[in-house]
A and B are shown apart, each in its own frame.
Chain A
Amino acid sequence: MGRALKLTDILVTIIIALIFGLVYKLWGPLYGFVSVFGLHAEQLIYGMWFIAATVAYLIIRKPGVALLAEVAAAHGEFIFGGEWGVTTLIFGLGQGLAAELVFAAVRYKKFDMFTVSLAAIASAGASILIDFYYGYIGDLALWNLLLLIGIRCVGAVLIAGIFAYFIVQALEKTKVTNLIRPVSSNDYKDLDK
């Protein structure tokens, strides 16, 4: 069973990523709109920017997919003329790497809600780390900084963890995921029946 990415895996990953890249692009204005409410309300929807990695991982279940998806989605947002420009690429790379590390830690064998939620939190952590340099968030008042980190993590789990998991579950009912997932030992058992 080859675990390296084939062209099929890559193309499917990128297609999924581009759909989310479009969502990312549309999310920018929404984010700007919500941020008007103040007190980091916008951080609750920040989690949408981590979703490509978790969804792609849940669908294709191969190493490297999460990183590729997040970078491709960021790139998609970039070529659709996303407001944040190059920034998205750096954030995408960081977030994708963070999610990938979590999936590597479970050795690409666990596909439950807890694992993807963990990956979502890792992505949020990476984005916060980049924000320390990019957004000087270390210079916010302490309560405000903690509020930002807390809300961003909650949003990440809600959107990139739980919501992503339900989307893929619904997608599994269409049987489309069987096309692209690597065959598991259960599939071989089914053949023997």
Chain B
Amino acid sequence: MQLDFSFRETWLHKINPSFKFILIVALFIHILFIHNINIIINYMIGTAILYILFTGHPWKRLLIISIPFILIFLTSSTSMIFFGKGEVTWFKWGLIHITEEGFFRGLHLGFRGLVFATLGIIFALTTRPVYLFYSLMQQLKLKPKYAYSFMAAVRLIPIMFEELQTIRYALKVRGVQSQKGILGFYHLLKSYSIPMLSQSIRRAHRIAVAMEAKRFSDTTKRTYYYLVGFSKLDVYLLIYFVVVIGTSYYFANSYSYFPIQDVRYNN
């Protein structure tokens, strides 16, 4: 299987992975306290700029990756739009009760989902998992046995895919017919998951025994093949988000899209 996944390395790739990770988690927690839909829309524009211009991937791939974003928007917003609490009724039909407040709260949730998704995808596109774990070991003192286990596990994924294909062929060549209905689905699931799990566990066990013998779990006086440090680019990223958040608040107050300050029901 040949999969072209080449990309241009940008400054986002060079940021310390641990720092990037902590920053994104901090942003996540901060966003939970934003209840103003105008701020969140500006925020979304700020993260979208980072996603489109600085991830270094061709725009076609970025476009394909962002297709599920539509689904995120819909799944995060629809329930709240149709069933949210509110005073000003727009539409009522059976159980569905669309109110102005519920509608904007739903939109807010949709945009919030989009911001989280973009932040997550920016991280995933610009961080090599190996560097992330080396950085976690060096900067955040993650125990090596966890980090190396994770890295080894990630390397085993392609083998799992191969195995999945093998199982498919094996079932086909033996003429296994899938039954219909929920029981058939259960059998189908079992015929894939049991060999997959058992083989993976056996392989993981073998590798782990070898790794223990090679002292991968040793913590004293470790040296690292990759040394991950900090640079001034880390500061740039921090400044970028400070500016994005600052301007989001500023523009939300002076040029708002909707005359709503807080989407929550009781405040």
Contacts and interface: CB of A to CB of B under 8 A. Distances in A.
B129 interface: yes
A141 B205 contact: no
Contacts of B256: none
Interface in B238-267: 263-265
B266 to A, nearest CB: 8
Interface stretch (A25-33, A114-122, A182-190): A25-33
A190 B76 CA distance: 55
Nearest to B82: A38
Interface in A172-188: 174, 176-177, 179-180
B149 A167 contact: no
A113 interface: no
B197 A19 contact: yes
Interface in A36-87: 36, 38-40, 42, 59, 72, 75, 78-87
A100 to B, nearest CB: 16
Given A7-B145, A11-B208, A167-B194, A140 B84 contact: yes
B28 A90 contact: yes
Interface in B1-15: none
Interface in B111-162: 112-113, 116-121, 123-125, 129, 145-146, 148-150, 152-154, 156-157, 160
A83 B71 contact: yes
B54 interface: no
A135 B212 contact: no
Contacts of A167: 190, 193-194, 197
Contact of A10 (B102, B120, B145, B203): B145
Interface of A: 6-8, 10-12, 14-16, 18-19, 22, 28-29, 31-32, 35-36, 38-40, 42, 59, 72, 75, 78-90, 133-136, 138-141, 144, 148, 167, 170-171, 174, 176-177, 179-180
A83 B79 CA distance: 18
B207 A11 contact: yes
Interface in B194-218: 194, 196-198, 200-205, 207-209, 211-212, 216-217
A168 to B, nearest CB: 9
Contacts of A144: 79, 83, 95
B193 A8 contact: no
Given A7-B208, A141-B85, A15 B120 contact: no
Contacts of B154: 18, 79
15 contacts: A6-B212, A14-B150, A15-B156, A15-B200, A31-B75, A32-B68, A36-B74, A38-B82, A39-B95, A42-B75, A85-B119, A86-B116, A139-B105, A140-B79, A176-B201
Interface in B142-198: 145-146, 148-150, 152-154, 156-157, 160, 190, 193-194, 196-198
Interface in B88-125: 95, 97, 102, 105, 109, 112-113, 116-121, 123-125
A81 B121 contact: yes
Contact of B217 (A6, A32, A39): A6
B90 to A, nearest CB: 15
A35 B75 contact: yes
Contacts of A81: 65, 121, 124-125
A179 B202 contact: yes
A139 B85 contact: yes
Contacts, number: 179
B160 to A, nearest CB: 7
B118 A180 contact: no
A15 B156 CA distance: 8
Contacts of B207: 11
A133 B193 contact: no
A83 B117 contact: yes
A56 to B, nearest CB: 11
A161 B69 CA distance: 31
A87 B116 CA distance: 7
B202 A78 contact: no
Of A10, A16, A180, most buried by chain B (CB within 10 Å of CB) is A10
A84 B190 contact: no
B16 to A, nearest CB: 17
